[in-house]
C-alpha cells in the first residue's frame, strides 16, 4: 500500500526575512533522509541558531519513531513482532500499540482495503517493465495467504501484539510517515515555533503562516501533465497526503494495473490514478488516501463523507478530476 515518493505535491516556500516587533525572523529549511525517504522541514523562527536546534530535535524524533516501527531494521519492536508471528505475543511500547490500533481502525472502516499485514504479500507483480504476462489467478490467490488484519491480535492490558499465523508481517509504510509528520508538528508547536511545514515524503503537516502572512502553498500536479497544476492548496494548520499510481503500473490489453495492491484480493487497484486528502492530520489523511485508492471513486467518496473535517481530490485513470 505504499506510494511513490514524488507523488504530485509541489511545496512552494517563500524565503525572506521580516521585522516583527523589532525581532528578525527567518525561514530555515533542511532536507534529510529518514525512514528510507526524503523529508523536508521549514521553520519560521527568531534566528537560525534556534531554528537549527528545533530541527535537530524533530529529526531525532523521526529517527526514534523509525527505531520503533521499521520492519526493515532487525532491532525494532515491529521486527520482533514479525519474528514471533504464530509463536507468541510481543510486548511493545504503548505508542506502537496505539499506532497499531489506529491502523486496524482503517481496516475495519474499509472492510480490509487498508491492511498493515500486506507487508507479508508475495511480490508477484513487478512494475519495472519486466512483466511479460499477468500472474495466474492461482498465484494471485496464494500471494495474499499471509495477509489478514483479522489475525492481528491485540492485548491492551498487556500491551502486546500477536500475529496469529506463522509468516505474517506488519508494516507501517502506509501511515508511519504521516504519524511522524504529525508528531514533529506537535513537538514544534509545544516548543513555541509559531509556523512551519513538515514534508514527510509527500505526507505534509503545516501550521501558522509563511513570513509575510501567506499560507503554505501546496500544488497538486496533474498526473497526466507534470507541467500543469490541478489545484493549489492554501494551508495553515492542516495536513495533506497523496497516494498515486501514475508512475508505477503495468498495462495488459489496454488495462492499467497500479502498484497499489488490494490486500483482500492480491490484484492491483484500478480506476484511480491519484487520491489527495487534506484535513487536520497527516496520518489520517494518508490512511484515507491509501484506502480510497483501493476502494475506488464511488466507495471512497462515500467513506470520505463520514469525515467532514477532510476533503478529497481524485483523478481517475481517464483524467477526470473530482473534488469532494
To the nearest 10 degrees (0 to 180), the angle between helices 94-109 and 282-295 is 30
The cell numbers describing 195, all together, are: 509556523
Q: Is the pTM of this model over 0.85?
A: yes
In angstroms, the CA 142 to CA 201 distance is 32
Residue among 5, 6, 54 nearest 26 (CA): 54
In angstroms, the CA 121 to CA 93 distance is 26
What pLDDT digit, counting tens, does each position of 236-247 carry? 999 999 998 877
Residues of the chain with pLDDT under 70: 1-24
C-alpha separations of 122 from 144, 179, 258 in Å: 7, 26, 16
**Can you give the pLDDT at residue 253?**
81
Give the start-to-end residue ranges of the domains of the chain: 1-324
Q: Which fold has domain 1-324?
A: T-fold (3.10.520)
> Any known ligand binding at 290?
yes
**Measured on CA atoms in the order 95, 98, 104, 109, is the torsion positive or negative?**
negative
What pLDDT digit, counting tens, does each position of 141-193 carry? 999 999 999 999 999 999 999 999 999 999 999 899 999 999 999 999 999 99
Q: Which residue has the cell 500536479?
A: 221
**Can you give the pLDDT at residue 133?**
87
Phi first, then psi: what are they for 117, rounded to 5°? -80, 5
CB 118 within 8 A of CB 147: yes
C-alpha separations of 149 from 1, 134, 261 in Å: 14, 26, 15
Residue 203 exposure: Cα atoms within 13 Å on the Cβ side: 30
CB 18 within 8 A of CB 10: no
**Can you give the pLDDT at residue 22?**
34
Amino acid at each position: 500500500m505504499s506510494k511513490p515518493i514524488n507523488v504530485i505535491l509541489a511545496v512552494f516556500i517563500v524565503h525572506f526575512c521580516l521585522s516583527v516587533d523589532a525581532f528578525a525572523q527567518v525561514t530555515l529549511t533542511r532536507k534529510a533522509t529518514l525512514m528510507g525517504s526524503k523529508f523536508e522541514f521549514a521553520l519560521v523562527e527568531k534566528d537560525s541558531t534556534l531554528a537549527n536546534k528545533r530541527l535537530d530535535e524533530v529529526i531525532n524524533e523521526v529517527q526514534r519513531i523509525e527505531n520503533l516501527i521499521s520492519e526493515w531494521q532487525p532491532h525494532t519492536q515491529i521486527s520482533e513482532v514479525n519474528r514471533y508471528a504464530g509463536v507468541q505475543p510481543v510486548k511493545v511500547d504503548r505508542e506502537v500499540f496505539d499506532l497499531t490500533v489506529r491502523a486496524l481502525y482503517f481496516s475495519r472502516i474499509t472492510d480490509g482495503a487498508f491492511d498493515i499485514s500486506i507487508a507479508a504479500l508475495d511480490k508477484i507483480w513487478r512494475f519495472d517493465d519486466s512483466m511479460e504476462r499477468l500472474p495466474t489467478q492461482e498465484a494471485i490467490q496464494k500471494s495474499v495467504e499471509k495477509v489478514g488484519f483479522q489475525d492481528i491480535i491485540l492485548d491492551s492490558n498487556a500491551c502486546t501484539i500477536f500475529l496469529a499465523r506463522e509468516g505474517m508481517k506488519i508494516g507501517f509504510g502506509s501511515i508511519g510517515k504521516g504519524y511522524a509528520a504529525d508528531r514533529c508538528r506537535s513537538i514544534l508547536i509545544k516548543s513555541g515555533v509559531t509556523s512551519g511545514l513538515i514534508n514527510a515524503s509527500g505526507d505534509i503537516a503545516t501550521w501558522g503562516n509563511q513570513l509575510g502572512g501567506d499560507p503554505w502553498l501546496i500544488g497538486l500536479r496533474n498526473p497526466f501533465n507534470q507541467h500543469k497544476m490541478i489545484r493549489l492548496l492554501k494551508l495553515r494548520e492542516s495536513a495533506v497526503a497523496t497516494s498515486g499510481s501514475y508512475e508505477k503500473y503495468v498495462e495488459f490489453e489496454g488495462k492499467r494495473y497500479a502498484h497499489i495492491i488490494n490486500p483482500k484480493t492480491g490484484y492491483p487497484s484500478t480506476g484511480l490514478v491519484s487520491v489527495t486528502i487534506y484535513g487536520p492530520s497527516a496520518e489520517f489523511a494518508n490512511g484515507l488516501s491509501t484506502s480510497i485508492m483501493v476502494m475506488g471513486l464511488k466507495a471512497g467518496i462515500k467513506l470520505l463523507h463520514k469525515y467532514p473535517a477532510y476533503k478529497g481530490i481524485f483523478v481517475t485513470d481517464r483524467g477526470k478530476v473530482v473534488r469532494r
